[in-house]
Structure 1
Amino acid sequence: MNRQKPNPDDRSDNVEKLQSMVQNTIENIEAAEETMAFSSPEEKAKIQAKNEKRKHAVEGFREEIKDEAAAREREQ
C-alpha cells in the first residue's frame, strides 16, 4: 500500500489569495458590464445573472477574509 501523507494545513497566505480572488471577480464583473452594451437582450440577461452570482461570491470571499484574518490574529 502506498499511502500519501496529507499536506499540512498552511493558511498563512489565505487572506492574500482571497483578496486576489475578490479583485479578479470584481474585474470580471466590470468587464461583463462593458460587454452588455454590445449584447442582445438574451445575452444581457445571462450576464446580469452571472454578475449576481459573482457579487454573492465576492461577499462570501470577504467573509472568509474576515475569518482568516481573525484566525491569523489568534495564532500570534
Structure 2
Amino acid sequence: MAKPDNREDNAIHLQQHIDHTVANLQEAEDYLDEHASEISADEKQTIEAKNERRKQSIDSFIAEKQDETQQ
C-alpha cells in the first residue's frame, strides 16, 4: 500500500534546504574572498556561476515555502 502524503513537515524541510544552500553560498563567497589571488579565472567563474544557481534555488525554496505555509 502506498504511503499517505504527509505534507505537514514540508515547510520545515524547505527551510532546511534554504539554510543549507545559504551556508554553501556563504562558504563559496568566503573562499573566493580568501583565495582570490590563488584561484584561476576558470575556477572563479565556475564558483560564481554555481552561486548564481544557488541564489535562484534559494528564491525558489522561499516561494515554495510560502506556498506551503499558506495552504
Whether TM exceeds 0.5 here: the answer is yes
User: Could you list the runs of 4 or more consecutive aligned residues of structure 1 that deviate by over 2 angstroms after TM superposition?
Assistant: none
Equivalent pairs: percent with the same residue? 37
Question: Looking at both structures, which has the greater relative contact order when contacts are Cα pairs under 8 Å and sequence separation is at least 6?
Answer: 2
Aligned AA (2:59)? E
RMSD over aligned CA atoms reads: 0.9
Give ranges in structure 1 of 5+ residues lacking alignment: 72-76
Aligned residues: 67
Report the TM-score, using the length of structure 1 for normalisation: 0.82
CA shift for structure 1 position 27: 0.5
Report the TM-score, using the length of structure 2 for normalisation: 0.88
SS in 2 for 1:36: helix
SS in 1 for 2:8: coil
**Pair member with larger Rg:** 1
